[in-house]
Amino acid sequence: MMKELFPRKQVIGFIFSLVLTAVALLVYFMDMSFAVGMTILLVTAFIQAGLQLILFMHAGESEDKTTIYTSIYYGMAIAIITVLGTLLTLVWTYQFQ
């Protein structure tokens, strides 16, 4: 009964998400350069997001799978463009000049 209520996939997913959090915490507890730290954070955050999306949110289970993925990827692409473009225009350009 209990086993039925705690499917393996979700339990492993949860443990994995805790591990990812722990890895991200390394940037706080260890000394490292900004570049290395940011890389760790970017990697762990995006894996975490993908984990939630695919494993917990069942994004790929219905007939509208393509639409759902397109909507999320499109949103993420535009989001990244907006963030990077804004930084480029308002911050980085003044640092390079």
Partner 1 sequence: MEFFERFAVPHPSPAIYASMVAIGLTVIAIFAGLTYFKKWGFLWREWLTTVDHKRIGIMYLISAILMLFRGGADAIMMRAQLAAPENKLLDAQHYNEIFSTHGVVMILFMAMPFIIGLMNFVIPLQIGARDVAFPRLNALSFWLFFAGAMLFNISFVVGGSPDAGWTSYFPLAGNDFSQSVGTNYYMIAIQIAGLGTLMTGINFLATILKMRAPGMTLMKMPMFTWSAFIANIIIVFAFPVLTVALAMGTLDRLFGANFFTSNNGGMDMLWANLFWVWGHPEVYILILPAFGIYSEVISTFARRNLYGYKSMVGSMVIISVLSFVVWVHHFFTMGQGAFVNSIFSITTMAIAVPTGVKIFNWLFTLHKGKIVITTPMLYSLLFIPLFTIGGVTGVMLGMSAADYQYHNTMFLVAHFHMVIIPGVVFAMLAGLTYYWPKMFGFMLNERIGKWSAWTIGISTLVAFMPMFFSGLDGQARRMYTYSEASGFAIWNMISFIGAAGLAVGFALIVYNIYYSFRYASRDIGSDPWDARTLEWSTHTPVPEYNFAKIPQIDSVEPFWDQKKHGKKLFEGELEKIHMPNNSGIPFIMGILFFLWGFSFIFAMWIPVIIFTLAIFGCMAYQSFEKDHGRYIPLEEVEETENKLGGNR
Partner 2 sequence: MKIDHSLPLEYSTEQNRLKILGFWIFLGAEIMLFATLFASYFVLVNGTGNGPSGAEIFEITPVLAETILLLTSSFTIGLAIHAMRLGNKKAMLVFFGITLVLGLAFLGVEIYEFVHYVHVGAGLQTSAFTAILLTTLGTHGAHVTFGLFWGLFILLQVKKNGLTPETTNKSFIFSLYWHFLDVVWIFIFSFVYLKGMM
Q: Under the rule (CB under 8 A), what is the footprint of partner 1?
A: 64, 67, 74-75, 77-78, 81-82, 85-86, 88-90, 93-94, 96-97
Q: Which residues bind partner 2 (CB under 8 A)?
A: 4-7, 10, 13-14, 17-18, 21, 24-25, 27-28, 32, 34, 37-38, 41-42, 44-45, 48-49, 52-53, 55-57, 59, 62-64, 67-68, 71-72, 74-76, 78-80, 82-83, 86-87, 90-91
Please give the structure tokens belonging to residue 7: 């499917």
d(CA 65, CA 53): 12
d(CA 19, CA 92): 33
